[in-house]
Structure 1
């Protein structure tokens, strides 16, 4: 079975597995006080050119978002996000379980817009509600978004401008940041310039597990690790996280993984377009959302795995195809070959 379900179905990039084997008998300091974690943090600071950035490597995306909300917000403060935002639909209400409400805004192509923030924070809201409602304090975005789109530098600058207007924090979920760095004009330097905090995703970018939270805003750094520990985020064997990011941040491996993911997705997308396939959203990243006939999918199910996203009508279904660091060109071509055969057989 060839899987296009997600970008974390395989264990880890060989460079990471080799490093884990080579360091297996090392004696490391616990709770991320080890040399691997320190070197990973230095490499990240060098890439973003922020020597004073606080780096904390955590286990997973949901945990990272939850801990960030707990650490950055006061009890009455809330987070602005689009309905497709990961914290709104795919984290079992983790953020809201901490008492911080998610304020859903309409968005556009999976992205928060300045107009969304104006509507959530402007006088048309506060003149009528005021302290009767939770207070918006943080804007949550994803790069790439959950529907595969990406923010441009200009869009991020506009979000920064409106966040500053309403004294909001700008926080970015970078679960698929490697793909975004390859297919958008936003670099790590601009992420660090425009966001108060963001994380560099590892789980979906070649690591066994791990997300590197980067805190830029000085006001958010104080006693962060106490909250991370309280919320179960401080792994005793923290060097396992640090070592993986030490490898990912070396020799442009992270960037090379993003490039490969996108090259495989481009090849897949080109073939789908040539077959006349429509998409629910136009994605430039490693997530594709084609619409296929149910009768065709029934046949593809015998060889390929994918995720069902939406029921278009009685005859068609919207699915998601995701490429990863491990996706082979021959697997993409086999999928396109089988799809072509089934379409023509129809």
Structure 2
């Protein structure tokens, strides 16, 4: 059984493990105040051309999202997100647990646009309703699509006009930055957003996300939220060591590019066999539609996510490649798929 279910089924890249082993016996202070976290944060600030940004390391993506969103919002303020957004459908109400409603915006491609935001703000017009205050986006999106620089800039202008914050979930940021057609750079993230994350869990780390705070208003109290929400890891240096290894010599982007390349081979092979792809995804997530009997036969040899039925006889599935996906894994899947036609 080979898994195309996600991009974190494997452990860590060997260079990350090597760095952890080499520093294993060192003694450092805890809670992210060690030299490794400090050096990794400096690297991120330099990479993103954001010398004044605060950088914090947490274990996982849901933790990063709920901490950051909660730090930005007052009790009556709400989040705007695509209906497919991770905070809306994959975090078990974590944002709502902090007291903030997620307002879901119908989206055909997983992205949020200024028009969608303006309409949502317009219908929340009184003190009897929650007050939209923050836009949540992810890049790549939950359906594998990308934001362009012009789209991100347009959202920034929209936020400035309406007094909103813009937060970008970068759980799959590596895939986004290395996908064909991408025109965003590291520095664009700090230029256009108030906060963003850099995902390690889905791109070669054992675990870990970097939270980058650009907006001044949340910096002074963010670590209080971290401690209160159980996000201040005692052995915090384990996060700093991993991010140092991932960001050294461009490893982070090389791993993401490898995942994208294998996804492209998978996508092209599936299309060549005549199967429909639900979204234009140049990243490491693809969403083919298979006849039900084909999906069922594939499930006997491969692990993947069943996304949604497409009529009575077809099923949309999600296939995800990782930094560790080999060409032979893709070839075997395509060969098996061809035999099922």
TM bucket, shorter chain = over 0.9
Query: Which residue is 1:342 aligned to?
Result: 340
Mapped partners of 2:267, 2:107: distance in 1: 25
Task: Report the Cα offset of residue 315 of structure 1.
Answer: 2.2
Unaligned runs of 5+ in 2: none
Where 2:157 maps in the other structure, the secondary structure is helix
Where 1:132 maps in the other structure, the secondary structure is coil
Mapped partners of 2:221, 2:72: distance in 1: 11
Mapped partners of 1:272, 1:28: distance in 2: 50
Report if the CA contact (8 A) 2:134-2:165 is conserved.
yes
Matches within 5 A, 1:138-217: 138-183=134-179, 184-217=182-215
Query: Which residue is 1:107 aligned to?
Result: 107
Task: Report the Cα offset of residue 131 of structure 1.
Answer: 1.1
Mapped partners of 1:244, 1:302: distance in 2: 35
Q: Which shifted more, 104-113 or 315-324?
A: 104-113
Mapped partners of 2:129, 2:294: distance in 1: 49
Q: 2:227 aligns with which of 226, 229, 250?
A: 229
Report if the CA contact (8 A) 2:271-2:277 is conserved.
no
Query: Which residue is 1:14 aligned to?
Result: 14
Task: Report the Cα offset of residue 138 of structure 1.
Answer: 0.4
Matched, 1:77 2:77: yes
Query: Which residue is 2:88 aligned to?
Result: 88
Query: Which residue is 2:116 aligned to?
Result: 116
Mapped partners of 1:36, 1:197: distance in 2: 22
Task: Report the Cα offset of residue 299 of structure 1.
Answer: 2.3
Report if the CA contact (8 A) 2:203-2:256 is conserved.
yes
Task: Report the Cα offset of residue 223 of structure 1.
Answer: 1.6
Query: Which residue is 2:52 aligned to?
Result: 52
Mapped partners of 2:185, 2:80: distance in 1: 23
Mapped partners of 2:274, 2:255: distance in 1: 29
Mapped partners of 1:96, 1:148: distance in 2: 25
Query: Which residue is 2:283 aligned to?
Result: 285
The TM-score with structure 2 as length reference comes to 0.98
Mapped partners of 1:335, 1:95: distance in 2: 37
4+ long deviations beyond 3 Å: none
Mapped partners of 2:311, 2:120: distance in 1: 34
Mapped partners of 2:312, 2:71: distance in 1: 46
When the two chains are superposed, the root-mean-square deviation of aligned CA atoms in Å is 1.0
Mapped partners of 2:299, 2:193: distance in 1: 41
Unaligned runs of 5+ in 1: none
**CA offsets, 1:229-255, max 9 Å, x none?**
111110000001111111111110111
Mapped partners of 2:299, 2:69: distance in 1: 40
